[in-house]
Amino acid sequence: MRIRINGEDADIQLETEKTVGDILSALEAWLDGKGHRLSGLGVDGQSVGASSVAECFAIGIDDVETLDIYTSSVAALFSECLVSLRDAVDEYDAAGFGEKASVAALWNESPAAKMLESEDPGLSDWARKTFSGEGSGPAVLRSVVEERMRELREPDAEMDRISDLVADVCARLEELPLDVQTGKDARAAETVSLFSGIAEKVLRIYGILGRDGFRQEAAKVGELPMSDYVAEFHSALGELLNAYEQNDAVLVGDIAEYEISPRLRGLHAAVSDAAKVTY
């Protein structure tokens, strides 16, 4: 059997595989490690449609001369998923009251919705609530989707766009102990909320770079490997959460000022540099 991946002959040695499904199962982990997913199949020059996939998987390898496997990067597939979601939001927003349920049902059963649930459960839940008439409405969801699209398409520009906000959040984190001590609870809560959103965004873009070929294990923040730096950042976040749950205001302030703020500055700078190199 001749096996081609995206039109190129693949040097794949078959061992115990007996069916097309066996071959694809064996390739699944390899594709995942490369940041790719199966996006199409062809058998002896004939494209395999969605309704014929199960039948194709059962075909014996001796009955196939050429197996064409098509893959796409996770980033590209997720970008298409976000475009589908944005279109669904626009359609839902424009639909009359009696048509909204139909638009929602089409989205919930779509391949894009299933991928979104796998790749970004938080955004998936947000979409589900919006399409059921809950949450903050289509306009807010559309804004979030467009932000995610920018992160995928131009992460370097998106990191530059938030530079001033990162600086502001870090400054507020350094002032958090004083805010807590002087009873400025509303400002302290707002600082934590702003930090949470910006930290999630920086970490999302860090993950995007890894999927697009950035060698996370080779990059460094100072003398520390970037992957270790991110692990320490997550550890500091855990300490902050524990202190918050224990109502230890003094410890919350100390961790925010001396652990979280400098690490957020360092992480933003490192991810910004990596985005410029990768893109």
pLDDT at 218 over 60: no
Q: Residue 26 — pLDDT band, cuts 50, 70, 90?
A: confident
pLDDT in tens, 162-216: 999 999 999 999 999 898 888 898 998 899 899 999 999 999 998 888 765 555 5
CB of 127 closer than 8 Å to CB of 85: yes
Residues whose CB is less than 8 angstroms from the CB of residue 78 and which lie 6 or more positions away in sequence, other chains included: 115, 119, 120, 152
Per-residue confidence (pLDDT) for residue 217, from 0 to 100:
52
Question: What is the predicted pLDDT for the residue at 28?
Answer: 82
Please check whether residue 267 is in contact with residue 198, taking contact to mean a CB–CB distance below 8 angstroms.
no
* Residue-level pLDDT at 66: 95
The pTM is what? 0.76
Average pLDDT over residues 254-259: 92
pLDDT tens, position by position, 103-162 = 999 999 998 999 899 889 999 999 999 999 987 899 999 999 999 999 998 999 999 999
The pLDDT assigned to 185 comes to 86
According to CATH, the topology of domain 2-72 is Ubiquitin-like (UB roll) (3.10.20)
Q: Point out which residues pair with 60 in neighbouring strands.
A: 19
Tokens 């697009």, located at residue: 212
- Cα gap 238→246, rounded to integer Å: 12
In the numeric block, which tokens belong to residue 240?
């902050």
pLDDT of residue 250: 86
- What are the CA-CA distances from residue 253 to residues 135, 259, 271 (Å)? 32, 10, 26
Question: Do 78 and 153 contact (CB within 8 A), yes or no?
Answer: no
pLDDT at 214: 55
Residue 67: its pLDDT value, please? 93
If you search the block for the tokens 């609870």, which residue do you land on?
185
How much is the pLDDT for 229?
87
For the cut 80, the answer to whether the pLDDT of residue 223 exceeds it is no
Query: Residue 173 is which amino acid?
Result: L
Question: To the nearest whole percent, how much of the chain has pLDDT over 90?
Answer: 56
Please name the residue that has the structure tokens 């001796």: 62
What average pLDDT score do residues 24-36 get?
80
DSSP calls for 162-190: THHHHHHHHHHHHHHHHHHHTT-HHHHHH
Which pair of tokens denotes residue 43? Answer: 């058998």
- Concatenating the DSSP letter of every residue in 231-254 gives HHHHHHHHHHHHHHHTT-HHHHHH
Distance from CA of residue 177 to its chain's centroid?
A: 33
CA pair distance 274, 206, nearest whole angstrom: 9
Q: Among candidates 268, 31, 34, which has minimal Cα distance to 155?
A: 268
* Integer Rg of the chain from CA: 23
Average per-residue pLDDT in the chain? 89
Is the confidence at residue 27, as pLDDT, over 90?
no
Show me where the domains of the chain are located: 2-72, 77-153, 155-278
Percent of the chain's residues with pLDDT above 70: 95
CB 39 within 8 A of CB 47: no
Q: Tens of pLDDT along 51-88?
A: 788 899 999 999 999 999 998 888 788 899 999 999 99
